[in-house]
Structure 1
Amino acid sequence: MHPTTDPTRRGHGPLTVAAGPAPAPQGACADVAGAGTGDGEIADWPGADEPEVLGGRKGPLRRCVASSAVASRDQMVRFVIAPDGFVVPDVEESLPGRGLWLTADPAMFEKAVARNVFAKAARRAVRVEKDLAIRTVALLRRRCLALIGLACRGGGAVAGFEKVQAALRSGRFGRSAVPGLWLEAADGAADGRAKLAPLAAAAGVPLVAVLDRRELGLALGRDEAVHAVLARGPLTAQVLREFGRLSALAGLPPVSVAPARAAPAGSPDGRTGAAGEAGLRDTSLPDADTSTPDRIEGSTTRRSDTE
């Protein structure tokens, strides 16, 4: 694959989570039908004339090149063929060329490599490295870090036990931001998480506990971080989407969505605190540019959050 499109390729050194961020939508499937469709558009399966399927490149459904199953783009990863013939993961869905889509499932990746399904879908000879799943996981993980860093730099994140506790309890933080995602370090102490869990459950705020404290700190411009909250909005919806694909492919804990309950008396605006009720479609925050810089820039003052 081309070195500029895949930093995890052999000969370019190991991928580090501090390396460049990436903008990004996500997966879908390949055009396994016939000529006339591209980037995995569905055009040859029963029900293809249904409105939700007719969306072209931006449509919600794609077909997996390994299983031929039709599913949401949110459950798949896009690949393209580089000029040198290598199959390149395109987790940002920004690379040019016809997209080949693969379900974010270890079994599907194993099948795709073993049975040369990319070559069949692309109708040409391609080169697929055996560690395709490992490299894709690394790119998805880096993507998650980049998006969290983007939210932090835009004022859409708070970190530290007391700040997270206050945000979950009041339903507000910063400039009237509403908590949309609760992040916990996978290697953080259980007691702190246990204290925050009832507040998150009351607000219906989903939990992701995939990153370790060093990775979470890196994304937030700190040496370490254990507890954090992201503001509800389009950017956080994208973070959730990427974590969903990462968890599915890497076998990590899935996103945990606590059932929304009535908010404690005296909560702001008498809200039920059910962030889940409004989903992540809240537009109280300006839409963030989901393109990301070449690296995650930490704050000028780096500190540790080990509460």
Structure 2
Amino acid sequence: MRRCILLGERAPREALVRLALSPDGHVLPDVRAKAPGRGAWIGVTRAELETAIAKGKLKGAFARAFKTGPILIPDDLPQMIATALERAVLDRLGLEARTGHLLTGSDKIETAARSGKLTMLLHASDAGTDGNRKLDQAWRIGNDEEGSALRGLALPVSRTILAVALGRQNVVHIGLTERDAAKRVGETLNRWLHFIGPESALVACETPSQGASAHISNPAGSGIPAAADDDTCEEFE
């Protein structure tokens, strides 16, 4: 568990974004949480981060914690984080494609959806409405949830970007057929969609019975999942 240094709320580290402090005092995104040295965690949206930067709150939090000299916040830090989070999602999809747990092509996805083998459904931002509805309906049928609000998630990236990420042609829709794969993709999606704006994370990608969802929980409007009642979290590491 980690604590967001701007909201003061705790959450699993997978739901937060790590910011690392470089040797020259620059605050940089470390979305994979692998950079050496100490860092801090945030769970705010891009708009909230931009406000915190403008008011000096982020710089102040780092300065109080590290006391190592000048703290430099890049002007484009919010965009750097958004780009890194998008890259993490696309890389995750590419990895799942290589495992064989990811489907593309409307016919293949529809077959898996109707047979109850689909655990996550994603649409490109420029996918046609009719195509989305057809696959959404097939997914509801396969889950015995006809008439429900179950539907795929429209990603904020185009089919061209998805095609490049997966090394395939014309990727308009994506289906995941393995629960753990959907969970892994869902975790990266949660962070990205929450950061770029709460309105982007309103559609669940699995039924409640299937477990993982691409909708990040939002207690008290913070977008950070409720934390377990323990004291093992750290703001900085």
TM bucket (normalised to shorter chain) is 0.7 to 0.9
Q: AA paired with 2:112?
A: A
Shift of 1:255: 5.3
Output the aligned Cα RMSD.
2.3
For 1:235, the equivalent position in structure 2 comes to 181
Q: AA paired with 1:253?
A: S
Shift of 1:247: 1.1
* SS of alignment partner, residue 176 of structure 2: strand
Unaligned regions of 5+ residues in structure 1, if any? 1-60, 173-178, 261-275, 282-307
Does 2:203 align with 1:256? yes
For 1:168, the equivalent position in structure 2 comes to 113
Call closer, same or farther: CA 1:158–1:182 in 2, change over 3 Å. Answer: same
Call closer, same or farther: CA 1:225–1:258 in 2, change over 3 Å. Answer: closer
Call closer, same or farther: CA 1:223–1:278 in 2, change over 3 Å. Answer: closer
Shift of 1:118: 2.4
Mapped to 2, the partners of 1:148 and 1:222 lie a distance apart of 12
Does 2:32 align with 1:92? yes
Mapped to 2, the partners of 1:121 and 1:111 lie a distance apart of 20
Larger relative helix fraction = 2
Mapped to 2, the partners of 1:258 and 1:228 lie a distance apart of 11
Does 2:13 align with 1:73? yes
Mapped to 1, the partners of 2:73 and 2:205 lie a distance apart of 40
Mapped to 2, the partners of 1:74 and 1:255 lie a distance apart of 19
Identity of aligned residues (%): 31
Query: What TM-score do the two structures reach when normalised by structure 1?
Result: 0.59
- Residues 224-259 of structure 1 deviation map (CA, whole Å, 9 limit, x = unaligned): 211110232333312111111111111262152268
Conserved? CA contact 1:215–1:224, under 8 Å: no
| Structure index of larger Rg | 1
Q: AA paired with 1:113?
A: I
Mapped to 2, the partners of 1:233 and 1:152 lie a distance apart of 14
Call closer, same or farther: CA 1:193–1:279 in 2, change over 3 Å. Answer: same
Q: AA paired with 2:165?
A: A
* SS of alignment partner, residue 101 of structure 1: strand
Residue-pair matches, total: 200
Call closer, same or farther: CA 1:237–1:198 in 2, change over 3 Å. Answer: same
